[in-house]
Amino acid sequence: MNPGVITRPLAVLGRASLGALAGLGRLVIFALATVRHMVTPPFYSREFMSALLNVGYLSLPVVGLTAFFTGGALALQIYSGGARFSAEAVVPQIVAIGMVRELGPVLVGLMIAARVTASVAAEIATMKVTEQIDALVTLSTHPMKYLTVPRVLAGLLTVPLLVGIGDIIGIYGGWLVSTQSLGFNPASYMQNTVNFLQPIDVLSSLAKGAVFGFIATLMGCYYGMQSGRGAQGVGAATKSSVVAAAILILAANFLLTQAFFSI
């Protein structure tokens, strides 16, 4: 048997593994450098305020609509499933814990990845293609401090707020559907929701929001900085950033859920 038949697939697998590890190493170095630049001057407050507006305020409509319809659909599904076991009364509790612990943070994170990560990656990649980043270096302005730090810091601070708002709107969506379509008493529904939620549920939701915001904005900046030349490079950077952000958000959600609620 030709030895190449056995070694060739192994060589391909080895190259792919080394490439993946090298990419992971570059990403970790980029993330550590971003954190280091966050705590060292100079700070570009104007860029930071612009990032706050883009990441936070302008994301409110899509976050609110997503949370509202998810909360309403969740109430309908739980009521339908609970009816099989005569457990319709658990709708308020399950909607609350489902939105606050899982659906709220994850859906907000994915919406931020779809909207903000793509926008940031395309913006920075275009700046690289048009040599605006080289111009920043010429002007003695560190590209990471000027482009990456304000956006990542904005994601770190605003996405937890978006998650909190999304949780409230999602619970309201479930309340509205339950009281208007399923026959629940409005005051009793809300009282059951408040009594069932615990501080650890809210804390875990906000912590997930901070981590997801960091991941989403970091991926946009990283892939934008790593973009190839030309329109094709910008498109590839945008696509890769959204895919990487979504996967990392889901993976981080699993790890954080295990950390907060493992028995």
Q: Say what the pLDDT of residue 4 is.
A: 61
Task: Write out the H or E segment, with its range, that includes residue 85.
Answer: none
Token reading at 55: 């990441």
Q: Say what the pLDDT of residue 139 is.
A: 85
Task: Report the amino acid identity of residue 33.
Answer: A
Give the best-scoring range by mean pLDDT among 24-28, 126-130, 170-174: 170-174
Q: Say what the pLDDT of residue 6 is.
A: 67
CA dihedral 77, 83, 89, 90 (to 10 degrees): -50
Rounded to 5 degrees, what are φ and ψ at 43? Answer: -115, 140
Q: Say what the pLDDT of residue 231 is.
A: 80
Give domain limits for the chain.
Answer: 46-261
Q: Say what the pLDDT of residue 228 is.
A: 79
* Average pLDDT for 28-36: 90
d(CA 171, CA 92): 8
For residue range 48-82, what is the model confidence (pLDDT) as tens digits? 999 999 998 899 999 999 999 999 999 998 888 87
- Record the pTM: 0.90
d(CA 245, CA 118): 10
For residue range 175-188, what is the model confidence (pLDDT) as tens digits? 999 999 888 888 98
Summary mean pLDDT of the chain: 89
